[in-house]
Amino acid sequence: MLLHSLAFSLAVKRVFNCDTAHISDECGLSVSIHTVNSKSRTVYVCSACGDSTPKWQGQCPACQAWNTLSAHATPKNTVRTGSRPLVEAGATETLGSVATAEAPRLPTGSGEFDRVLGGGLVAGSVTLIGGDPGIGKSTLLLQAAAGLARSTAVLYATGEESLRQVGLRARRLALDDAPLGLLAETDVETVISAARAREARVLVVDSIQTMGTAEVDSSPGSVSQLRESAARFVQFAKQSGTAVFLIGHVTKEGVIAGPRVLEHLVDTVLYFESDAGSRFRVVRAVKNRFGAANEIGVFSMEEGGLREVKNPSAIFLSRHPAPVAGSIVTVAREGTRPLLVEVQALVDEARSQNTRRVAVGFEGNRLALLLAVLHRHGGVALGAHDVFINVVGGVHLGETAADLPAILAAVSSLDDRPLPQDLISFGELGLAGEVRPVPFGEERLREAAKHGFRRAIVPRANAPRKGIEGLEIVAVERLSEALEALRQPART
């Protein structure tokens, strides 16, 4: 009779997909059988947004991207370990009762890195950092981890290198005496358990693409493993207050590999930027819940590791021995500080019927728009010329403050007339030929005066009321006024 009950209970389990079956015989003997459902189902996950669908489609129903769905096997009964307890009904708080004190910051030992993070490391934060192979991600985080280890417990978990390789890099960087905990492991649960055992306040994971959990039936680096592994590290950080760094690989397009949901899960997303052959590295915050987005930190790659550059404007300004045509300096706004960069232009007669418009560090479509404005409202036709715009130092100017200097540099190259080396300019150009103001105009002007510039062509709305000592400010409202001021000599 017991065997009949067992067979019936297992059949019920198969029908209702339960994990535990309870049976009893006529004598009152009770048996509890716990089974594990190892069957998996196939879902199709979008590599662009991370959304999943049970059937394959040519277009993702969530983000409308084409040909981004790929098959992944997922267990039917996924058990999340360490999940938060359910909140009782009504256990909510009002906005006024929530503590609004600013979270304390933990310095990493690098002023530039602290600037990008928003002033230091926040407990319980999760930071994702990406960049090209060999650009210096592991070097930067190893230096930061070693500096943090001198004041708090830190664990560096690597899934790509052996402990000997990490030790050799630390010796080359003169960091081998730091009390830094090392772990070579690719299992997420093992890494989290080691961090708990060490009572680490900072955890570095190198890299998230090598990590995986046994509860997801796919190889490390797949979309489902990336999403689940990142989610568990985020959950661990929020529950324990441990700050977590995740190193991420990038695709050939330069974005972090995996679903975009990976960037939405974390608090801060940092990108390494650098020109080929350049020893300078720029770390940019594209997302930061604890600081300003688009903040940058500038580093120099040397034999002893990454060294911070405390005056970035000095490396982006290449002062020529003599004035040259097609070169002008502008003041860009990167995060919370102004940055002086040189904008170069080259205008040459076209060698074919198809003229070229090439922009490096500048928006190409924006360049075509500005040349049309220059023709219509400035009377300068460049339809038979090739136009090349370059921002020196590998900086990408995404703001509109570079509109006016780009046009002035192009006119200077066309006329083969060098501009004064102490001239600076910024401003946005509208389609009607007006020169529009840009944010933080007075702060930009003071930064220019601090570096020795003596004349500035800027929007009239950005001209300060009291003026700035040592700086002649030429305020303009129209593009024609800016071109006229360009041809006038400076006041003595």
Written as one string, the DSSP assignment of 51-84 is -EESS--SB-TTT--BS-EEEEEEESS---TTPP
| pLDDT recorded at residue 3 | 47
Mean pLDDT of the chain: 84
- What is the CATH T-level fold of the domain 315-487, as seen in this structure? Ribosomal Protein S5; domain 2 (3.30.230)
Q: What is the pLDDT of residue 82?
A: 44
- Widest CA span in the chain: 112
Amino acid at 111: G
Report whether 377 contacts 480 (CB < 8 A).
Answer: yes
- The answer to whether residue 7 scores a pLDDT higher than 80 is no
Q: What is the pLDDT of residue 90?
A: 53
Please report the beta strands in 315-377, taking only residues with DSSP state E, as ranges in sequence order.
327-334, 337-349, 357-360
- Reported as a single tens digit per residue, the pLDDT across 26-61 is 444 444 444 444 455 677 877 777 777 888 888 888
Q: Where are the alpha helices (DSSP H) in 150-250?
A: 163-172, 188-198, 223-240
Helix (H) or strand (E) holding 450: helix 441-450
Question: Tell me, what amino acid is at 264?
Answer: H
Would you say 326 and 347 are in contact if contact means Cβ atoms under 8 Å apart? yes
Among 395, 381, 280, smallest CA distance to 335 is for 395
Confidence category of residue 24, pLDDT binned at 50, 70, 90: very low
Asked if residues 321 and 307 have their Cβ atoms less than 8 Å apart, the reply is: no
pLDDT tens digits along 105-154: 999 999 999 999 999 999 999 999 998 888 899 999 999 999 999 999 99
Q: Which residues pair with 130 in a beta bridge?
A: 248, 271
CATH number assigned to the domain covering 106-310: 3.40.50.300
102 in helix, strand or coil? coil
Segment 194-246, tens digit of pLDDT: 999 999 999 999 989 999 998 888 888 888 888 899 999 999 999 999 999 99
Predicted local confidence at residue 313, as pLDDT: 80
| Integer Cα distance of 192 and 239 in angstroms | 12
Residue with tokens 């924006």: 366
> How far is Cα of residue 223 from the mean position of the Cα atoms in its chain?
20
β-bridge partners, 473: 456
Q: Spell out a b/e string for 398-423, using b for 16 or more CB atoms within 10 Å of the CB, else e.
A: eebbbbbbbbbbbbbbbeeeebebbb
| CA distance from start to end of the chain | 111
